[in-house]
């Protein structure tokens, strides 16, 4: 499974391997530091879809530049996007990159699962006989690997000392230059608008399927009548109803993540509801059918869309860098019953609207 998509078509070495370095334990592949256009496209595909699940490389030792026994060893995960950030940061340097087997998962997530961990690091150091490749006894582990790597435990088992490097690969050259000193800024996780925007497709793509199912359902509800299916209500009622799903989607999976620090409330469910309500009101101002099709129809809009946005916003906790499990558990405890209630009331309101419409004015 590993590396299926990144091996060259002829089964040879992938294009980012540009040579090899001889070591006492055999030849080690030497990698380019620049990204190719093809890799940039692959990185984009990682952001938007399930391609990321197949973007793995072989766990082993790699060389950057012309490393020797005195060169540093940087540890990373077997997710190629993680590896690519490390190799690009090492432009112009001579170093070793030790890739652990994380089954194609990035450092932080793999550390949380323990696959980027004490066990695997100690095993790899022994398996490749790192002590024969380098004359020193230190490896640099990314700081976000610390939830999985117990530094004193690895040292006890391998005699290699662990230095926790900066959070971001781009800071590695400065960290090395300053003699393994990371500034407090390098030790902090940032979650700015660029980081959040990069994660939006991860929320949007799976939620789009649910919204498509919702749209199909409400279009059917709109079309059905005493005389069978009718086309006309699709336009007057069906499309405005389906649009509410899109409002919830944009609100909960796009607007709330992007506006995160500016939306009132700390709980994600509240933030999602607030944005959802604002966008529903905006939508109602633009689409006359929301207020002009009866009380049950209008009530459905204001109960359903903000609650759906709230539920979608809650999913974003999994993408953030600062939500704790205790916090999410507490939030779920009071928000999930409200979401279930809102779903039930929405169905009742939709049914009420249909009953009133069937009876005629």
Partner 1 sequence: MRYLSGVTTLRLEPGRCTGCGRCVEVCPHGVFAMEDGRARIADRDACMECGACRNNCAANAIEVQPGVGCAMALVSAIVARRSSRGECRCR
Pick the stretch among 225-233, 243-251, 294-302, 309-317 that binds partner 1 (CB under 8 A): 309-317
User: Cβ 104 to partner 1, closest distance in Å?
Assistant: 7
- 261 touches partner 1 (CB under 8 A): yes
- 184 touches partner 1 (CB under 8 A): yes
- 149 touches partner 1 (CB under 8 A): yes
User: Cβ 96 to partner 1, closest distance in Å?
Assistant: 23
Pick the stretch among 85-93, 106-114, 130-138, 342-350 that binds partner 1 (CB under 8 A): 106-114
Q: At what angle do helices 37-48 and 80-89 cross, to 10 degrees?
A: 140
Between 70 and 266, name the residue whose CB sits nearer to partner 1.
266
- 19 touches partner 1 (CB under 8 A): no
- 148 touches partner 1 (CB under 8 A): yes
- 194 touches partner 1 (CB under 8 A): no
3-state secondary structure the chain: CCCCCCCCCCCCCCCCEEEEEEECCEEEEEECCCCCHHHHHHHHHHHHCHHHHHCECCCCEEEECCCCCCCEEEEECCEHHHHHHHHHHCCCCCEEEEECCCCCCCHHHHHHHCCCCHHHHHHHHHHCCHHHHCCCCEEEEEHHHCCCCCHHHHHHHHCCEEEEECCCHHHHHHHHHCCCCCCHHHHCCCCCHHHHHHHHHHHHHHHHHHHHHHHHHHHHHHHEECCEECCHHHHHHHHHHHHHHHHHHHHHHHHHHHHHHHCCCCCHHHHHHHHHHHHHHHHHHHCCHHHHCCHHHHHHHHHHHHHHHHHHHHHHHHCCCCCCHHHHHHHHHHHHHHHHHHHHHHHHHHHHHHHHHHHCC
Pick the stretch among 144-152, 224-232, 276-284, 346-354 that binds partner 1 (CB under 8 A): 144-152
- 143 touches partner 1 (CB under 8 A): yes
- 328 touches partner 1 (CB under 8 A): yes
Which listed residue (16, 160, 164, 175) binds partner 1 by CB under 8 A? Answer: 164
Between 20 and 321, name the residue whose CB sits nearer to partner 1.
321
- 291 touches partner 1 (CB under 8 A): no
How many residues bind partner 1 (CB under 8 A)? The answer is 49
- 138 touches partner 1 (CB under 8 A): no
Which listed residue (3, 14, 68, 112) binds partner 1 by CB under 8 A? Answer: 112
- 146 touches partner 1 (CB under 8 A): yes
Strand partners, 74: 97, 140
- 326 touches partner 1 (CB under 8 A): yes
Q: Which residues bind partner 1 (CB under 8 A)?
A: 52-53, 103-105, 109, 111-113, 143-144, 146-152, 164, 167, 182, 184, 187-189, 191, 260-261, 266-268, 314-315, 317-318, 320-332, 336
């Amino acid at each position: 499974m590993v590396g299926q998509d990144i091996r060259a078509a002829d089964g040879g070495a992938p294009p980012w391997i540009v040579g090899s370095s001889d070591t006492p334990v055999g030849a080690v592949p030497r990698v380019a530091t620049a990204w190719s256009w093809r890799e940039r496209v692959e990185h984009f595909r990682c952001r938007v879809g399930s391609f990321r699940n197949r973007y793995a490389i072989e766990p082993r030792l790699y060389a950057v530049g012309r490393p020797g026994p005195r060169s540093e060893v940087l540890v990373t995960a077997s997710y190629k996007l993680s590896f690519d950030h490390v190799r690009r940061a090492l432009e112009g340097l001579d170093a070793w990159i030790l890739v652990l087997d994380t089954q194609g998962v990035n450092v932080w997530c793999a550390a949380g699962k323990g696959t980027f961990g004490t066990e695997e690091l100690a095993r790899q150091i022994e398996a490749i006989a790192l002590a024969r490749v380098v004359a020193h006894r230190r490896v640099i582990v990314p700081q976000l690997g610390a939830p999985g790597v117990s530094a004193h435990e690895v040292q006890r088992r391998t005699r290699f000392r662990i230095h926790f490097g900066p959070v971001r690969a781009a800071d590695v050259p400065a960290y090395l230059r300053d003699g393994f000193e990371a500034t407090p800024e390098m030790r902090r996780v940032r979650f700015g608008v660029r980081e959040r925007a990069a994660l939006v497709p991860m929320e949007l793509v799976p939620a789009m399927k649910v919204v498509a199912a919702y749209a199909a359902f409400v279009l059917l509800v709109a079309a059905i009548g005493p005389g069978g299916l009718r086309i006309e209500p699709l336009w007057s009622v069906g499309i405005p109803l389906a649009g509410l799903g899109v409002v919830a989607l944009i609100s909960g999976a796009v607007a709330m993540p992007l506006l995160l620090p500016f939306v009132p409330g700390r709980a994600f469910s509240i933030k999602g509801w607030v944005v959802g309500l604002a966008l529903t009101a905006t939508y109602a101002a633009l689409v006359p059918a929301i207020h002009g099709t009866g009380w049950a129809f209008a009530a459905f809009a204001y109960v359903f869309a903000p609650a759906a946005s709230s539920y979608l916003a809650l999913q974003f906790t999994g993408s953030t860098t600062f939500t704790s499990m205790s916090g999410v558990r507490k939030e779920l405890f009071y928000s999930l019953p409200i979401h279930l209630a809102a779903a039930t009331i929405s169905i009742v309101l939709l049914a009420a609207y249909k009953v009133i419409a069937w009876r005629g004015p």
